[in-house]
Each structure stands twice: as C-alpha cells, then as structure tokens.
C-alpha cells in the first residue's frame, strides 16, 4: 500500500473548514441531564475519610475545639463518561476509530505534546482516559495517526472553566514543542458545553525520513464541573480544518456529563440542543477556499482561517459584543489574507439565530444604528464611516428579506498612511441575521476605483474591489440561510 503522505509536496494552510453550530441555551439541561449527589462529610465520617482518602487538616491546635477541612466529595466520574467508537468521526478516507486502551487516571505516558501540565497538576479530583487507533488492517490505517480522550472532574464549574481556559492557551501556543506553528482553530459549542476550542499546531519531525510535518489537534472543552481534552496526532502535508475532531469533541462532551450525544440515533434534538434543533451548522458558514482571491497581493496561503488574538468584532462599527443582541444561537468564522510579511485582508462572518422574527428584526435595526454612526466601542477599533448603509438586498442572489451595506475605515497597524477599508453587511432572512465584515489594507486611497475623475484613480490598478465585495457577500448570505430556503 502506498503512503499518501509521501506523495504530497508542501505543507499549506489553505483549506480551512468552518465551525459547527452553536447550540442555544448552553447547559440549560444541567439539572435534567444529571443531578450530582454530593456527600456531606460530618465530623464522625471525617475520621473514616482520614484513613481512606488521606490526612485531615486541623485548623486549630486545640483538641477540644478542632476545625476540620472536609474531605473532597466523592467523584462519580467513570469510564462511562468517556467517548465510544460510535461518537468519533473519522477523516475521509481513513478508517473508523476503534478503542485501543482505557485507563483509570491519565495514564503514565504523554498523551498531548503541547500540554506541559497534567489535569491532576491543575487540580483534578479524578480522571479517566481512552486511546483510539484507526481500525488495524484497513487501508490507510497507518497514516491516520492516533486519537485519545481524557476527562477530568474538578471541584466546581468555575474551576473547570478556569482550567479549560489555561489548557486552551497552552494548546494554541504549544510550549511543549520547539518550533510549533499555529495552523488553525475552531470553536466547540452547543448544548451542555460551557466553552471549547480545537487548536491545531504543526512542527517539523525529528525523523529525517518523514516527508511530512507532525500535526497536533487539541480539543479542550468544559461542561458542568468537568473538562475534556481530546488529542489527535498525525503526519500531514496539507492542513485540513479539524471539523471531524470538532464533531467528535461535541459528542464526547455529552458523554462526559452523562448525556446522550446529538449524533446518537436515540437523541431527542429538542432536548440535546443539537445542530438540528438550533438550525445552525457548518453549512451556514463560508469556506475560505471559495472566497475570491485578493489579487492585489500574492499570498503563499490564500484565505486562511484563523482565531484572532483579541476580541476582534465581526463589524468594525460594532458597538459591543454580538451576545448583547439576544440571539439564541451563533456560528462565526474569521479568515485572513497574508503576504510574506503582513496581513492585508480580513473576512469576518457571523450568523445569528433568534427566537422569532420580531427579535431578529429588532437586532437588525440595532446593527443599522451601529453602521450609521459607528459608535466608539470597547473592542479595540476606532472606525470612521465613509458610506452610509445602502439597500443591497436585490444584489444578493439568496434573497434575504432585507440587507444593507456600509463602508468604514480605520488605521492600519504600521503607523503610516495605510488604512483598513471595510465593507459591512447585515442581512435578515426570517429569524436569522448574517453579518459580514470584509476589509482590505490600502491607503490613503481605497483599494481600487473605476472613476477616472477620482483623484485616487489608477489606470494600472484593476477595479476588482467591488466584485470581491459582492462575491463574498453573496457567498456568506447564501450559506447563512441555506437551510431556510
């Protein structure tokens, strides 16, 4: 059998995918899913706990008036809270994942190259682990890599979320590997999930005969007082967005808290908060490979999906977080166009689902006010309106109920005359809004102009900017409402 990796030529991050749906009312079924019974340790039981669970700390030196730190509540975490083979999605054309080994605890070997601290070091009260491999003997099994899942329980939901945040940072920066490079990131959202991300890094192998890079994709997800760390490692040449690992992590998060995953045939979508119930999915976001090229700049990567280092707004004229609009669900993605030295293009997209048409309409009107005045905001952008909202609903093939486009500028990061020229679109279709912020670096003149009387007119500059704007808007709106038409 030939090794497909040896036939590939060069690692590129030019085929990003898109995140899954963001389910409404995350953790809304916490009480229905599982009621944890915590044992109250009394003074009499504490003596027994001293023998079984370790020493009891006396806060007072007087025996007649001693204070006792209660022993940790017993954990009901078990192997049943780990994902099964049926919860995992295999990347085409690799075979299905099968269980290799299951542990009580985190095991003795390293299960993630990027994480330098174990879950136990982070304060976990209990942990379980399961390792998977591609089904042996099947075609391409040797090239599929490995996958494992570790679930840990903490003292509270707040502590679990803190640990998730710390581990997510470590997965993205990969301090455990010298020379690791960021390849991409996707959110893990929905239903019982409190927060989650898949972060992907790559690095050169030590093995000189390996004609590929190592890729480590790490999903870190919190739900209730538990944290999931799911790791896939394999040799790659071309970056492919880890949407399969993203789906597997969602299913694993449900198992982690004793719930039925959305992918399980027995799941009730109205209770699980699955993508089918929320009406949003990966299909509602544009794919970077379909975006028109930014032809003014050569790029080794093309449009590359990325996770902004800070809370970059979808629209430059966005007054505050989109969560303030009251959407019941949201999916979003961010793309960038890079030269060898700088980012010169950005596409930010968000799709918002609302409980009813009136709520969607109210949010649309609010965004229209943002576009008209571009208010000062706390999101790190200080834009200036250059074109007020204009009705463009007739230009969009998908046929939204209404849509408006505006334009704004804000300074580039290099401190010279460069400006970001951003086009902002908001479109409403029934209970859904599609937001698109598309920006190109230029300045002081805009990227292109077809008006020969304009002082910025350049006869040698292709007037393709308007075509790129419209193509991106059409693609975003068509994807955003694809399941409603």
Q: Residue 401: its pLDDT value, please?
A: 86
For the chain, the average pLDDT equals: 78
pLDDT-based confidence at 301, cuts 50/70/90?
confident
Grade residue 251 by pLDDT with cuts at 50, 70 and 90: very high
- The more confident residue out of 325 and 59 is 325
- Could you name the CATH architecture of 79-256? 3-Layer(aba) Sandwich (3.40)
* Rounded Cα distance, 123 and 409, in Å: 47
Give the model's pLDDT for residue 382.
Answer: 79
User: Cβ distance 340 to 11 under 8 Å?
Assistant: no
Q: Are 97 and 275 in contact (CB under 8 A)?
A: no
Domain 79-256 and domain 265-480, same fold? Reply is yes
Closest by alpha carbon to 374, among 442, 334, 315, 322?
315
Residue 303 has pLDDT above 80, yes or no: yes
Higher-confidence residue: 453 or 24? Answer: 453
Note if the pTM is more than 0.85.
no
- Between 186 and 220, whose confidence is greater? 220
pLDDT at 446 over 50: yes
| Spatial distance between the Cα atoms of 379 and 473, rounded to a whole number of angstroms | 23
List the domain boundaries for the chain.
24-71, 79-256, 265-480
CATH of 265-480, one of 3.40.710, 1.10.10, 3.40.1350, 3.40.1000: 3.40.1000
**How far apart are alpha carbons 418 and 29 in whole angstroms?**
49
> Is the confidence at residue 19, as pLDDT, over 50?
no
Instruction: Out of 94-108, 228-242, 377-391, 446-460, pick the least confident.
Output: 446-460
- Smallest Cα–Cα separation from 244: which of 91, 107, 121, 100? 91
Q: Where does the pLDDT of residue 473 fall: very low under 50, low under 70, confident under 90, or very high at 90 and above?
A: very high
pLDDT value at residue 296:
82
Q: What is the pLDDT of residue 430?
A: 92
């Amino acid at each position: 059998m030939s090794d497909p990796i040896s036939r590939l030529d060069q690692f590129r991050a030019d085929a990003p995918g898109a995140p899954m749906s963001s389910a409404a009312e995350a953790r809304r079924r916490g009480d229905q899913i599982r009621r944890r019974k915590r044992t109250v340790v009394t003074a009499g039981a504490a003596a027994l706990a001293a023998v079984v669970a370790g020493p009891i700390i006396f806060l007072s030196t007087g025996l007649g008036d001693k204070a006792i730190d209660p022993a940790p509540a017993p954990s009901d975490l078990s192997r049943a809270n780990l994902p099964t083979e049926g919860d995992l999605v295999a990347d085409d054309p690799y075979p299905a994942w099968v269980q290799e080994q299951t542990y009580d605890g985190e095991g003795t070997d390293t299960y993630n190259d990027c994480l330098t601290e174990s879950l136990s070091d982070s304060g976990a009260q209990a942990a379980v682990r399961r390792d998977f491999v591609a089904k042996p003997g099947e075609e391409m099994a040797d090239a599929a890599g490995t996958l494992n899942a570790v679930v840990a329980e903490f003292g509270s939901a707040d502590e679990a979320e803190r640990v998730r945040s710390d581990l997510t940072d470590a997965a993205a920066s990969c301090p455990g590997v010298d020379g690791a490079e960021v390849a991409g990131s996707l959110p893990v959202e929905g239903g019982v999930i409190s927060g989650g991300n898949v972060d992907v890094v790559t690095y050169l192998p030590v093995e000189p005969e390996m004609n590929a890079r190592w890729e480590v994709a790490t999903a870190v997800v919190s739900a209730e007082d538990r944290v999931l760390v799911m790791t896939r490692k394999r040799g790659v040449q071309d970056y492919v967005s880890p949407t399969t690992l993203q789906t597997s992590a969602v299913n694993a998060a449900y198992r982690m808290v004793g719930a039925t995953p959305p992918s399980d045939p027995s799941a009730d979508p109205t209770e699980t908060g699955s993508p089918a119930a929320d009406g949003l999915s990966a299909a509602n976001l544009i794919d970077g490979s379909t975006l028109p090229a930014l032809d003014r700049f050569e790029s080794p990567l093309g449009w590359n999906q990325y996770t902004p280092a800070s809370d970059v707004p979808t629209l430059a004229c966005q007054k505050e977080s989109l969560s303030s609009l009251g959407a019941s669900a949201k999916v979003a993605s961010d793309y960038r166009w890079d030269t060898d030295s700088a980012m010169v293009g950005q596409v930010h997209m968000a799709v918002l689902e609302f409980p009813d048409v009136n709520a969607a309409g109210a949010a649309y009107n609010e965004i229209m006010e943002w576009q008209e005045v571009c208010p000062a905001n706390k999101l790190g952008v200080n834009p200036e309106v250059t074109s007020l909202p204009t009705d463009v609903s007739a230009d969009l093939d998908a046929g939204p109920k209404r849509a408006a486009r505006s334009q704004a500028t804000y300074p580039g990061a290099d401190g010279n005359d460069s400006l970001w020229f951003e086009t902002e679109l908001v479109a409403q279709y029934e209970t859904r809004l599609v937001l698109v912020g598309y920006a190109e670096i230029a300045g002081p003149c805009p990227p292109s102009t077809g008006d020969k009387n304009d002082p910025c007119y350049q006869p040698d500059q292709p007037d393709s900017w308007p075509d790129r704007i419209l193509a991106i808007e059409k693609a975003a709106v068509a994807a955003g409402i694809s399941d409603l038409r």
